[in-house]
Chains A and B, each alone.
Chain A
Amino acid sequence: MTRKNKTTRFSPGWLLAAALALAVFFVCIGTPYAGPKQVVSAKGGDCKACHGQEKVFSPSHPDTKAMAYKDCLGCHAKGGPQMLQGKLPGSHLHQLRGVTCEKCHGKVAKPEAVDVNQCLKCHNADKLAERTAKVKPENPHTSPHYGTSLDCTLCHRQHAKSENYCNQCHQFNFVVP
């Protein structure tokens, strides 16, 4: 009705409240750019397909859109100082090597978490434990507690940063791909 009313409507208090509400909203749903889309058809090197405009590389990094895993290895040799293992979530390494979403999750509209038997179709737990028998201070793929029976994803997270499950109780400095 009058100007006075209008100014009241946009007072600093209101603005603060609106900003707070917006902040709470983003905290609840996650910041708008941090949650990449999980585009099933995306090629492994096509970061933008899922991450959009989010800066996932330093500006000097070459364009990866057309790259496959073997192209990455030119700079990121496995075991070398720049290796991708431990830096990228496991799903990216899988994807780059042609193990696409649906190879684990199946052709479904809404992919769900898979269990360890899916991993074991390609990875043999006993052979893996043999291969890492000499890792210090302990073999990461077997233990006096659980043998080789643990879920791979307890450490090798596919859609999050990998972690060292042993370190809940121990102190083992493993590099976890």
Chain B
Amino acid sequence: MSDDAGEKKGLTRRGFLKSAGGVAAVAGMAAGGIAVGAREGATRPAAVPKKWDQAYDVVIIGSGFAGLAAAIEAKSAGASVVVIEKMPVHGGNSIINGGDFCAPVTRLQKAAGVQDSPDLMYKDMMKAGLYLNNPELARILADNAGGALEWCEDYVGAKFTRLNFHGGHSVKRANQTANASGSELVNKMLAKAKGLGVEVLTRTKMERMITNKDGRVVGIEVKTGYRYPDEKTGKTANIKAGKAVVLTSGGFSNDIALRQIQDPRLTDKFGTTNQPGATGEALLAACMAGAMDVQMDWIQLGPWTSPDEKGFGHVPLFCERLVGYGPMIDPATGKRFFKETGNRKERADAIILLGHPVIIMGDSYSVPKQVFPGALEKGLQNGAVKKFDSLEAMAKNYNIPLETFQKEIARWNSFVEKKKDDDFDCMIFPDAKPTVAPPFYAARLWPKVHHTMGGLVIDRNAQVFGFSLKPVKGLYAAGEVTGGIHGAVRLGGVAMADCIVFGRIAGRNAAKETAWG
């Protein structure tokens, strides 16, 4: 495939500001000032208390993929471990994710005859990340993703049953859980962790790090019995981390104040796919304790979300299975406007540049073949996915100029026949067929805030790096709270790999730390 750098011109972050959406967003911010969320800002680290309320070797903050991977590894290495979670439920964003785990050279890839390698996955990550990725960390991820997936299957017992494609990858390498949800993995990891003797405390919120006079992290101050989002609830307690604290608190997509400081376009006008607790106070508390942040303003919008349903919804599972099989159309012109298999950033920026929702479509061949039945049924039920007897009916519903639309579909079909897209170089899969067979299906797309690529700087041991340009003693981190691994764009399905690979590394190294006292 050719490089589409030419198309990227004008879709830079600055370029976006010229679009209608960007102008509206900026105007909104100027009028409203910076929104302040329910939480307060981070607090300076506390001094070592005379008495600890609880004590463990390893204290893990957050109960998603990364936290539970760290917990299982730390416990298996002999450490006493507690996982704290501020929400009343476990699993964070991991338990509502789509269950796609990207790894090269897997059982499902072999069965499908897909040629892949860690090198190719690394190259895809670097290219999408605009080469801003920390190459050492990206390499560790690509090299260890296969082993991490096997660990999830063989040791944790999670089932992966389907191979999917995500935009920006060279091949199909997303191994999807049996229920098309991260819950398959999270719940089995949680059961595993509890079985090993890991304590998991929900409604327990970290307030600040506790450091000793040498700046080493020795514990955390928490609120127990915290009732999100009421900051007045909970009792203060100090938890000693005899060996280390592992921060796996996730990203800050739902932190309107923080994300708007990093990227002023992302006002409350943009919805998110994240759970409500995906805010940045734990990340900021780590910074107050000396941890360094990096690339905080690379915030990813998902190009596959629908304005016709809340949150992540069902349309992403509809859209992402159809790219490379069906076209994406701008209803204002009736024409295609961008490479359907492009990466998340390229596609989200292209839609925002148009300034209005677009549609993704398929027919009675591609949709039943590609889309998870539950997702299709539920999307149809809530009205975000629509079914049409003819292209005419679809054009009428979305107010698409019919003649241009019909010509464009014919043109797309000719590309599908020869498996080459002359207009946008969309990847067309070998088993794709022209979009001709009614009924047709379509969904509207408008981006939502999805993932924060930036976060804490970590080294190859998942140890947090500080403003001192040295590792912060006693502090590890993994998953979305860290930054630099994905550079400008995290590719679809790579977050699960990131969380498991670095969560395990963090857990093992935290357990290996020399106890401070």
Q: Which residues of A does B touch, CB under 8 Å?
A: 113, 137, 144-147, 150-151, 154, 167-171
Given A137-B381, A168-B276, is A145 in contact with B311 using a C-beta cutoff of 8 Å? no
Given A137-B381, A144-B181, is A170 in contact with B311 using a C-beta cutoff of 8 Å? yes
**Chain A residues near B88 (CB, 8 Å)?**
151, 154
Given A113-B225, A171-B309, is A147 in contact with B276 using a C-beta cutoff of 8 Å? no
B187 at the interface (CB under 8 A from A): yes
* Complex CA–CA separation, A145 to B179 (angstroms): 10
**Chain A residues near B181 (CB, 8 Å)?**
144-145
B80 at the interface (CB under 8 A from A): no
Whole-angstrom distance between the Cβ of B95 and the nearest chain A Cβ = 5
Known: A144-B179, A169-B312. 8 other contacts (CB 8 A): A146-B183, A146-B187, A150-B89, A151-B88, A151-B89, A168-B275, A168-B276, A169-B310
* Complex CA–CA separation, A150 to B187 (angstroms): 13
B382 at the interface (CB under 8 A from A): yes
B503 at the interface (CB under 8 A from A): no
Whole-angstrom distance between the Cβ of A145 and the nearest chain B Cβ = 5
* Complex CA–CA separation, A145 to B96 (angstroms): 6
A145 touches B95 (CB 8 A): yes
As a 0/1 sequence over residues 365 to 385 of chain B, the CB contacts with chain A under 8 angstroms (1 = contact) are: 000000000000010011000
A-B contact pairs, 7 of them (CB 8 A): A144-B183, A145-B91, A145-B181, A169-B96, A169-B311, A169-B312, A170-B310
* Complex CA–CA separation, A174 to B275 (angstroms): 20
**Chain A residues near B276 (CB, 8 Å)?**
168
As a 0/1 sequence over residues 183 to 222 of chain B, the CB contacts with chain A under 8 angstroms (1 = contact) are: 1000100000000000000000000000000000000000
A171 touches B89 (CB 8 A): no
Docked complex: B122-143 residues within 8 A CB-CB of A = none
* Complex CA–CA separation, A100 to B280 (angstroms): 41
B275 touches A169 (CB 8 A): yes
Whole-angstrom distance between the Cβ of A158 and the nearest chain B Cβ = 13
Whole-angstrom distance between the Cβ of A70 and the nearest chain B Cβ = 34
* Complex CA–CA separation, A8 to B16 (angstroms): 61
Docked complex: B403-434 residues within 8 A CB-CB of A = none
Whole-angstrom distance between the Cβ of B308 and the nearest chain A Cβ = 10
Docked complex: B305-321 residues within 8 A CB-CB of A = 309-312
Across the interface, name the chain A residue whose C-beta is closest to B183.
Answer: A145
Whole-angstrom distance between the Cβ of B504 and the nearest chain A Cβ = 23
**Chain B residues near A113 (CB, 8 Å)?**
225
